[in-house]
Amino acid sequence: MRTWLAAAWAALMVAGAAQAQEVTLKGITSFAEKTFYSRAFEKFIDKVNADGKGLVQINYIGGPKAMPPFEVGKALAGGVVDIANVTGAFYTNVMPEADAWKLTERPMSELRKNGGFDYMAKLYDEKMNAIYLARQIGNTPFHVYLTKPIFKPDLTGLKIRITPVYRDFFTALGATVVQTAPGEVYTALERGVVDGYGWPTAGIFDLGWHEKTKFRVDPGFYTAEVSFLINKTTWGKLDAAQRKVIADAAALIEAESAAFEAAANTADIERQKQVGIQTIELKGADGEAYLAKAYEAGWAGIIKQSPEHGPKLREFFAKAK
């Protein structure tokens, strides 16, 4: 009897030690809830919460109503939130190099092999106490959207809403730039504070900007980036099974991103046309000069912000010339 009890007790203890308690992580998005750039994150959370029953759950705190987008990077670094959906342009105050993701001309699958991803991962570790999980947006260009037409690659005399993504390029094109979070774009357009804004191909319908937009400038430039990050201290406390739930869900989102983005971009270009947004196409030499200036100004800006890492990132990210 004694031996039996002792054995049963010992078995229970072992089971208890092996089975970690379910952990709940705080998740935040820097884009409005249920809008395009939050959608894949919401899908990721649903998957983690389904696959992670008894192991790990994410409590979705929400978007900019819960926390201003430009504060998400600091909150993640400090562990105020555990997991975030955010673009590098929103946390250049913590890690200026993150804005360089916009300049990648190779797919993430290649960057994960050529050393570029590892180089960035080290910066996330050192500068942000963070682990980079997945890039959910990496196949969508940015555009200039306008309320007034232009006829050449020149924004002189126009006031354009920006984030750090567009600052160097639009300034090089002669624009006067005004930085705002996405949540302030509609009002800025409505009040005539700006004559246009930078934004990727998809998503202008989410916050009603199509009502105030007359023109989209093509070609698109750069490659928009939105990614999932997790606080490193949080990650360090998870066991292998908990980490696997998160890493698998994240990998699935990154693998699906190209198709997910292509469908949204095609649909939104069509919808923009339907609502009367005209395309200003910079053709031939004008288009080439526009794109060349975009990358030249973009890299010059990154290298100025980070003379130590900028040139190295350019080697990994830029297309072989």
Q: CA 229 to CA 270: how far, in whole Å?
A: 32
Among residues 56 and 130, whose Cβ is nearest to ligand 173? 130
The three-class DSSP label of residue 138 is coil
Q: Sheet with 23-29: list strands edge to edge.
A: 56-62, 23-29, 83-86, 226-231, 130-137
Q: Which residue is nearest to ligand 173 (CB)?
A: 163
Q: CA 223 to CA 265: how far, in whole Å?
A: 13
Amino acid type, 63: G
Contact between 216 and 222 under an 8 Å Cβ cutoff? The reply is no
Please state the closest distance from residue 287 (CB atom) to ligand 173, in A. Answer: 21
Q: Does 165 participate in binding ligand 173 (rule CB under 6 A)?
A: yes
Among residues 226 and 250, whose Cβ is nearest to ligand 173? 226
Among residues 87 and 257, whose Cβ is nearest to ligand 173? 87
Q: For residue 44, give the nearest of 251, 233, 316, 267 by alpha carbon.
A: 251
Q: Does 199 participate in binding ligand 173 (rule CB under 6 A)?
A: yes
Among residues 71 and 242, whose Cβ is nearest to ligand 173? 71
Q: Interacting stretch for ligand 173, rule CB under 6 A, among 2-10, 194-202, 227-235, 289-297?
A: 194-202
Q: CA 134 to CA 305: how far, in whole Å?
A: 24
Tokens (6 digits) for 182: 């996405």
Q: Does 25 participate in binding ligand 173 (rule CB under 6 A)?
A: no
Q: CA 136 to CA 258: how far, in whole Å?
A: 9
Contact between 250 and 44 under an 8 Å Cβ cutoff? The reply is yes
Q: Interacting stretch for ligand 173, rule CB under 6 A, among 110-118, 192-200, 248-256, 274-282?
A: 192-200
Given 29, 136, 163, 201, the residue binding ligand 173 (CB under 6 A): 163
Among residues 52 and 198, whose Cβ is nearest to ligand 173? 198
Place of tokens 């050529």: 114
Burial class of residue 321, CB neighbours in 10 A (0-12, 13-18, 19+)? exposed
Q: Interacting stretch for ligand 173, rule CB under 6 A, among 167-175, 193-201, 299-307, 310-318?
A: 193-201
Q: Which of residues 217-236 bind ligand 173 (CB under 6 A)?
A: 224, 226
Q: Does 301 participate in binding ligand 173 (rule CB under 6 A)?
A: no
Q: Does 87 participate in binding ligand 173 (rule CB under 6 A)?
A: yes
CA count, 13 A, side-chain hemisphere, 134: 20
Q: Does 204 participate in binding ligand 173 (rule CB under 6 A)?
A: no
Q: Does 37 participate in binding ligand 173 (rule CB under 6 A)?
A: yes
Q: Does 265 participate in binding ligand 173 (rule CB under 6 A)?
A: no
Q: CA 137 to CA 33: how far, in whole Å?
A: 16
Count of residues touching ligand 173 (by CB under 6 A):
11
Q: Does 306 participate in binding ligand 173 (rule CB under 6 A)?
A: no
Interface residues toward ligand 173, by CB under 6 A: 37, 87, 89, 163, 165, 182, 198-200, 224, 226
